[in-house]
Amino acid sequence: MRLCLLIFLLIAVPRVAFGASMPDFSGLTYEQKLGNQIPLQEAFRDEAGRSVRLSDLFNGKPLILALGYFHCPNLCSVVRADLFDALHASGMTAGRDYSLVVLSIDPSETSADATSAKADDLQRYPVPGAVKNWHFLTGTAGAVQAVADAVGFHDRFDPQLKQFVHPVGIVFATSTGNVSSYLLGVGYRPGDVRLAVTRAQWGSIAAAALPVLLLCYHFDPTTGRYTLAILKLLDLAAGITVVTLVGTLFLAFRRDRGRA
């Protein structure tokens, strides 16, 4: 929670305070588009190399959608691990209760990358029904962007690090492809995931989730920490924010005393 808060503070602080080299995090959020229709006719490649449309994957069930990429060195694998842990503990069966799509936002990734990622995840998370009903997809930049726009997912490619900077979270859609709810950040609980799937199964649209901003950027999943460069920026952002807050309170106090 502290890291999420600090990233939010970092975005709130003017770029000039950090100099021109500060990473640009503006606009990198999950814009919650509850009730919006996902473009079901967009074509992708699944882990077996077959051409599929999203409409082929619902099977009359709610859809869990995770956007990220397979060769991500940061939080994407953590997101999938948290989600799959929660699904394993939820008592739900893929195909009976839900379908799942892991969609790569990197148009350079291929079905071979999807195959490798799915095989690794299935080995670690033997969730009932997952072999047939977890779909790891790749696609063209246009097809991926159409889905990202529909669910309010905003990302940016950092050419220096050769990484995608993007928000972290999971999208739940009804069986007709309408956005039902979001779980943002990481640390998904089985009960929350089950509730989101049940709500989507009923065709219900939830209220907006608490806007937690956790970015997949400069995170080391082996240590569970952000890199030193990002932590320095976050700490600096927090410091500037505290100073600004203290100054605002001081001016407000002086103004109130002047009125007295």
Pairing of strands 225-226, 219-220: antiparallel
What is the spatial distance between Cα 241 and Cα 243, in angstroms, rounded to a whole number? 5
Provide the pLDDT for residue 129: 95
Q: Residue 216 is which amino acid?
A: C
Task: Check residue 247 and give its pLDDT.
Answer: 55
Residues of the chain predicted below pLDDT 50: 1-22, 214-244
- 197 Cβ contact partners less than 8 Å away, ≥ 6 residues apart: 62, 64, 90, 92, 97, 98, 172
Percent of the chain with pLDDT over 90: 55
Give the pLDDT confidence score for residue 238 in this predicted structure. Answer: 45
CB hemisphere CA count around 230 (13 angstroms) = 22
The torsion region of residue 171 among left (phi > 0), alpha (psi -120 to 50) and beta comes to: beta
CA distance 38 to 145: 11
Q: Which of 235, 233, 174 is nearest to 203 (CA)?
A: 174
pLDDT of 239 reads 47
The pLDDT of residue 168 is: 87
Res 235: pLDDT: 45
pTM of the model: 0.74
